[in-house]
């Protein structure tokens, strides 16, 4: 349950995603999300899961171009 007055991880990802460059790393996205929601400790998998949920819902589109380094690239939505 999120504390009152705090932004959720999902809403932070939705807000930050458009600002990311065409190629982005999960580490950079995660760091920006932590700063946005003012939580120094957050599992990176939580950020990744919310990113994947947004893709499944068709709100964003990206592909993993380097699995070892967790580098992603935005793609065009169909």
Say if residues 64 and 72 touch (Cβ distance below 8 Å). yes
Q: How confident is the model at residue 2 (pLDDT cuts 50, 70, 90)?
A: low
**Nearest-CA neighbor of 8 among 43, 32, 37?**
37
Q: Per residue in 26-70, pLDDT tens?
A: 999 999 999 999 988 899 999 999 999 999 999 999 999 999 999
Cα of first residue to Cα of last residue in the chain, in angstroms, is: 34
The per-residue pLDDT for 1 is 55
Question: If you ran DSSP here, which 8-state letter would residue 25 be given?
Answer: E
Greatest pairwise CA separation for the chain in angstroms: 37
**Quick one: tokens of 32?**
């920006």
The per-residue pLDDT for 5 is 47
The per-residue pLDDT for 6 is 65
- Which domains can be identified in the chain, with CATH numbers? 9-74 (1.10.10)
């Amino acid at each position: 349950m999120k504390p009152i007055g705090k932004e959720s991880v999902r809403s932070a990802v939705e807000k930050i995603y458009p600002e990311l460059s065409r190629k982005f790393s999960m580490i950079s996205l995660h760091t920006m999300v932590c700063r946005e929601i003012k939580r120094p400790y957050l599992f990176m998998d939580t950020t990744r899961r919310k990113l994947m949920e947004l893709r499944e819902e068709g709100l964003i589109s990206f592909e993993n171009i380097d699995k070892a380094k967790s580098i992603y690239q935005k793609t065009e939505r169909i």
